[in-house]
Amino acid sequence: MAGPASGGGGEPTRLIPARVPAVFEISTSPGAPTFNKNEVGVTVTSPSRRPVTARVLDVAERPGVYRIEFTPEEVGTHLIDISIADDKLAAGPLVAKVYDSSLIKVTDVANAVVGQQSQFRVDASAAGEGQLEISINEGEVPNHVQVVGGGRCLVFWRPETPTPHRVDIKFNGEPVPSSPFIFDVAPAQRVTIDTSQIELIPVGEVASCSVRVEGSGGGELTVTVKGPRGEVPVRLTGDAASGLVASFTPKNVGPHTLTAHYNNQPVPGTPFICKAYDGKLVSVSGGASARVGVPVQLAVDAAQAGEGNLEITVAARGLNIPTQVHPQGNARFTVSFTPTEACEHIVNVSFNKMRVPGCPLIVPVAEGGGGGARVTLPGPVPLHQPAALTLHHPTATLDQIEVNVEGWYK
């Protein structure tokens, strides 16, 4: 039986590239009997448990040393069992961890802007074990790697000069596909957005805001609007040099959040909240008829119309007359005025400068003079007993009636 043998060619666990011949060497231990090539048995098992063809070769210039070669195709751990005349190698099976740098994927490779953080993704999940090396401009530009798990990572970097930047990516010392990558870097740009015209916006009408980019063009602007019921389509027109315009049409009452990004960086001043309203949802009721000197009441309901400013005017013969507005809560109001002339009174109600449905409301006012009002008294009443009177009026409401009782002694 042949004597003991030892594994050579480096550590018992090695990183081996796929589709490249892997080489291990074995030799006779010092002082042990020699053996020949025909006594060496080799079994290579792949990660899928399938055998891999291997061969044993003499090393002519080094008697007593034998070379074991095989070419792995699968990524993962391969076990190499070696026996000498049916005696297994004392060191146990050798381990080859096979990797494939061609399976590395680099995505989200985009142009960058001076002074702004940029990023790209590296996916090594299918490439096997190994060391990832990333260098930007031969190490002159720092980068930060954030591991996201499963062999994937994000790489962050921030250019400081408006020149092309070279990014070299290697896996176990081998360049990954398409490496080196060239990133174009644009000068820093100042981006401003004018939202002064979209703080209050009417439902069903186009709302627009302008975006200006100071500096070189070539960047990408994205604008999104999210309303109470989801995303609202946004249309972009113009260009960075002459000015960009973002337009959208709100469909529902309520807050709309506008968010803008330029070259994947948030535009200052966004997210911005636009408040959509609908003046058509304001209702005005009351004031069918009136008399001189008798207060008139109207009800204004803006509960479903959204946020905004309510303006109410009452005019007689072209001149505004005093009105009182009494909030009732939840955007509901009572409006009152007292006519002093027997003529048509014109009521106008506007919501955010828009006239509401039913306006102008025309209230006809007739002459006063008591006009059918009468009081019925029961006559003398006993002392210390409740007394009552009855008031008859064709148009007055309870809150318009004022009663004063005065007494005197003879």
Q: How many domains is the chain built from?
A: 4
Question: Is 267 domain-assigned?
Answer: yes
Question: Is 382 domain-assigned?
Answer: no
Question: Is 376 domain-assigned?
Answer: no
323 neighbors 335 (Cβ within 8 angstroms): yes
Which one of 99, 129, 155 terminates a domain?
99
The residue whose two tokens read 């966004």 is 270
Cβ partners under 8 Å of residue 384, min gap 6: none
Question: Is 67 domain-assigned?
Answer: yes
Both 180 and 195 in a single domain?
A: no
Count of CB atoms within 10 A of residue 163's CB?
A: 11
Question: Is 393 domain-assigned?
Answer: no
Question: Is 199 domain-assigned?
Answer: yes
Both 178 and 206 in a single domain?
A: no
379 neighbors 316 (Cβ within 8 angstroms): no
- Residue 376 scores a pLDDT above 70: no
Both 201 and 272 in a single domain?
A: yes
Give the span between the Cα atoms of 24 and 88, in whole angstroms: 16
Q: Determine the pLDDT at residue 393.
A: 66
Q: Determine the pLDDT at residue 102.
A: 94
Strands 190-194 and 230-232: what pairing?
A: unpaired
The residue whose two tokens read 């337009």 is 247
Question: Is 392 domain-assigned?
Answer: no
Q: How confident is the model at residue 230 (pLDDT cuts 50, 70, 90)?
A: very high
253-276 pLDDT, tens digit per residue, is 999 999 998 877 788 888 999 999
Which domain CATH number covers 323? Answer: 2.60.40.10
Q: How confident is the model at residue 8 (pLDDT cuts 50, 70, 90)?
A: very low
Q: How confident is the model at residue 394 (pLDDT cuts 50, 70, 90)?
A: low
For residues 268 and 19, which has the higher predicted lDDT (pLDDT)?
Answer: 19
Chain centroid to CA 241: how far?
27
122 neighbors 131 (Cβ within 8 angstroms): no
Cβ partners under 8 Å of residue 161, min gap 6: 114, 185
274-296 pLDDT, tens digit per residue, is 999 999 999 998 877 788 888 88
- Residue 148 scores a pLDDT above 70: yes
Both 78 and 11 in a single domain?
A: yes
- Residue 5 scores a pLDDT above 60: no
Both 10 and 90 in a single domain?
A: yes
Question: Is 202 domain-assigned?
Answer: yes
**b/e for 192-205, b at 16 or more Cβ within 10 A?**
ebebeebebbbbee
**Residue 350 tokens, joined:** 């506007």
Both 261 and 295 in a single domain?
A: no
Look up the domain containing 160 and give its range.
Answer: 105-186
